[in-house]
Amino acid sequence: MRIDRFFFFIRLAKSRTLAQHIIERGHVRIDGRRVQKPSEEVRVGSIIALPLHDEVRIFRVVALPARRGPPPEARGCYEELTEANPRPSEASQGSETQ
């Protein structure tokens, strides 16, 4: 499946055009390889890394969606590998109390 369609179907982008713009910036990677075209293929098991909302998000493709379905259906197609990072102020407070 094309990566732009994948981003649209799993609701990472509101349209395929927006998904293509995200990809064309050159910061998206599939299995450590920079994605250069929106037509590059995503497969089950692929690891996708991209900057989104001031953080790098990493996903593993679990299933290829057949459509742009509701959010719970979309979330079932990927597994988020990014660890939740505490805010800098929360991290510094936690270290001060020890």
pLDDT, tens only, 4-23: 999 999 999 999 999 999 99
Environment class of 16 (CB within 10 Å of its CB; exposed 0-12, middle 13-18, buried 19+): middle
The reported pLDDT for the residue numbered 82 is: 82
Report the C-alpha gap between 12 and 95 in whole angstroms: 34
Give the pLDDT confidence of 75-91 residue by residue, as tens digits: 999 999 987 554 454 44
Q: Residue 97: pLDDT band by 50, 70, 90 thresholds?
A: low
CA distance 19 to 89: 33
Note the CATH number of domain 3-96. 3.10.290.10
Give pTM, 2 decimals: 0.80
